[in-house]
Structure 1
């Protein structure tokens, strides 16, 4: 109505008067002007010659400016809160009015500093509500203690899951979780616990274990039965654990429920994991990225891109001069009141997207891929870094009959691929696997292929797709 009236008269006062007549109410001219300015920013008052693509880009930029302004305001509000904590009080530069904050001029926080000065990140008095004391799994180094406010958690996590409409539609429904014993930062191993003790609200934690690839038939049948009886809308899982369970269920023809989708998290999801999960559960698989310290930060949309929660986080991609396109993720938590983090060096690598996504969240910060932990990178024979993600992109297309694997670098040009064959494995793929690895690892690479009856995780409880074996030989 406003747009039609303004298009006809090109006058704010006349538009307000006409709107008042239509609505039979007094319409404030200032309100009309504010609405028209908002329409203009979205490109809705442009000349008729504007194409649909140009209009969409205009609107995307407007939404992006909105979030950039919102994050800048939150960052300015965050700095005084940080200075109330002992660690930041002595490490942040002196405040200079903070009218305009240049994030890159502020110090980077590493995990060693958090471990060494943990008590200096805590306030004098804990906030109201439920508080949980946790520890990380230690996949990027030593384990570290974390304190989490459930109020903080509830304030940020819904914004992350809303980035995927399929996931958002299932929020609050029953789901099952399968992951490492350390997935929630606790030392509570659920093995052997009753189903009742593993159920919390709509969530059922499945009774897995570190030996997920070699569980006895009775345990596999119990897990499949619990999945059917709980009738979840989706499963949230570590991709290695769920892929190994799914392969065993396929071999034994165990009936499984039809899911709406699977969310993978906790460690890098291989294209091989995704393949078997899509095959067994006949549903889409969406990968998410997060950490015990701050929760879920990004999730894949239906188009496969990783979108960063634009309300609760600032993410930077730090170039570590490795010569490839992978960057380390630095995370700033904007809404976290308990143990906030500023430019936190995660030790995780990602590749930036080179163009906006085609989905409804095209204005958000977008990642093309997750590349795994920096400590899980290996070196080619000519010294180039090869991230776990790069290894998977090279290997997975040549290895359709493999459930999972671990590529171990044993020397400058010596490598071993430990692989777990899938239900549909054929040795005919092995020459292609060897050729793919030689092409990725460089001239002179010596690659041993080792078929394994099971793969075992690292001490963190997580599986590693690639790593350097540092033991002396």
Structure 2
């Protein structure tokens, strides 16, 4: 979708949003400001209501949903049924590295947060007019004929052997259902890495059926986690970037280079602070016809290959704007710390920076093999964190770092929080 040089929507976009109450003032002024999440919520749903939307809601062509809320307050949305799933399927079916597994009819096995599994179980229970079960059965965890969810526990580090054996059996069932023995694995990179660790710990490799293709799409995937997965799988491993309200915007190829997937969308990159090389994503999208977003600040940050605000040159999605850490040299994003950790040692698995004061911090970390880093690496990482954040840093090797209530890891923790 084309955009004006100044980021303002083109005439075709304005024509599609001119009757939406939220945009009337901008249309009248001839200028669209950046759209914040608070504005989307203010006066909802009346601020979005048009006769066409009301008719779509009545006909079941549009529905109210909530965003996941794993990185920000949950936001009410209006969208077509299965909007995000269809966005995923379209991308999978056209991706040059993995479309073969779509065309071959592979089942999609999803290994991600327990919140995602519970959502599917709630939807299925509602269809039956029942309350969801506390321990959902396989049928409860099936999203459609092609997709089902595996995880039923919050913290993958605490999976017990029975959990892992059940999941492996369900993955094997998906493989056996395909004439070529293929299935597609959709996952959080962290969850899959934990599964591999459990398989290794209990010697369950004979029960594990490797997938024909892998997508990780649910959260930031650290450099070391991606490396770890690449060591264990020969198939393409693809990263998707998107959100509940937008669908998917970018995909990686099997070598890790990102490519735009901006059907009915455009992206602006605006500097977080001048000279930092870190950018906000501002998205205009009419992909969701019931809730088109014009110059919407997604809350995500990115860095580009050459430091210029060119969306086609994005090299890293760096985490959330609300989680930036201020430092004397400018804002520090999740991706910045992760790049540092990955450059010092490939053995660090989960890491979390706890800020104690403007001058002190602790970097807690786990490793894939359970052993602490060598003293030389500890010193290098402590020095690197100080250079990056302006804070003296000591390292704290742990056996376990708890996952958040959302089923995702927090890279940053502030003292007392």
Fold shared, TM-score > 0.5 on shorter chain: yes
* Cα distance change on mapping 1:182 and 1:88 into 2, 3 Å: farther
Q: Tell me what 2:81 maps to.
A: 150
Q: Tell me what 1:445 maps to.
A: 391
1:429 has 2:374 as partner: yes
Give the number of equivalent residue pairs: 388
Residue 156 of structure 1 contacts residue 335 of structure 1 at CA under 8 Å; is this kept in 2? Answer: no
Normalising by structure 2, report the TM-score.
0.82
* Cα distance change on mapping 1:417 and 1:190 into 2, 3 Å: farther
| Residue from 318, 323, 334 that aligns with 1:371 | 318
Give 1:151 shift.
7.5
**Partner secondary structure for residue 150 of structure 1:** coil
1:252 has 2:223 as partner: no
**Partner secondary structure for residue 294 of structure 2:** coil
Residue 156 of structure 1 contacts residue 312 of structure 1 at CA under 8 Å; is this kept in 2? Answer: no
1:223 has 2:223 as partner: no
**Partner secondary structure for residue 278 of structure 1:** helix
Residue 183 of structure 1 contacts residue 266 of structure 1 at CA under 8 Å; is this kept in 2? Answer: no
* Cα distance change on mapping 1:205 and 1:130 into 2, 3 Å: farther
1:204 has 2:148 as partner: yes
Aligned counterparts of 2:94 and 2:347: Cα–Cα separation in 1? 33
**Partner secondary structure for residue 335 of structure 1:** coil
1:123 has 2:66 as partner: no
Aligned counterparts of 1:328 and 1:183: Cα–Cα separation in 2? 27
1:306 has 2:251 as partner: no
Q: How does 1:47-58 map to 2 (within 5 A)?
A: none
1:388 has 2:338 as partner: no
| Residue from 133, 139, 143 that aligns with 2:64 | 133
Give 1:150 shift.
3.3
* Cα distance change on mapping 1:132 and 1:320 into 2, 3 Å: same
**Partner secondary structure for residue 165 of structure 2:** helix
Give 1:108 shift.
0.8
Deviations 1:207-244 (A, max 9, x none): 24222111111111111221122125221112222222
Aligned counterparts of 2:307 and 2:183: Cα–Cα separation in 1? 33
Give 1:428 shift.
4.2
Aligned counterparts of 1:258 and 1:298: Cα–Cα separation in 2? 25
- Worse-matched range after superposition: 341-350 or 250-259: 250-259
Aligned counterparts of 1:439 and 1:289: Cα–Cα separation in 2? 28
Deviations 1:359-402 (A, max 9, x none): xxxx983421111112222234x353221111111101323223
1:79 has 2:14 as partner: yes
Q: Tell me what 2:125 maps to.
A: none
Aligned counterparts of 1:77 and 1:239: Cα–Cα separation in 2? 39
* Cα distance change on mapping 1:213 and 1:387 into 2, 3 Å: same
Aligned counterparts of 2:405 and 2:80: Cα–Cα separation in 1? 27
Q: How does 1:346-425 map to 2 (within 5 A)?
A: 346-354=298-306, 365-380=312-327, 382-422=328-368, 424-425=369-370
Give 1:139 shift.
3.8
Structure 2: gaps spanning 5 or more residues: 123-131, 176-181
Q: Tell me what 1:177 maps to.
A: 110
Structure 1: gaps spanning 5 or more residues: 1-66, 96-104, 357-362
Deviations 1:176-226 (A, max 9, x none): 112223448948488621112212211120024222111111111111221
**Partner secondary structure for residue 379 of structure 1:** coil
| Residue from 65, 83, 96 that aligns with 1:165 | 96
* Cα distance change on mapping 1:322 and 1:429 into 2, 3 Å: farther
Residue 350 of structure 2 contacts residue 365 of structure 2 at CA under 8 Å; is this kept in 1? Answer: yes
Give 1:164 shift.
2.9
Give 1:432 shift.
0.8
Q: Tell me what 2:179 maps to.
A: none
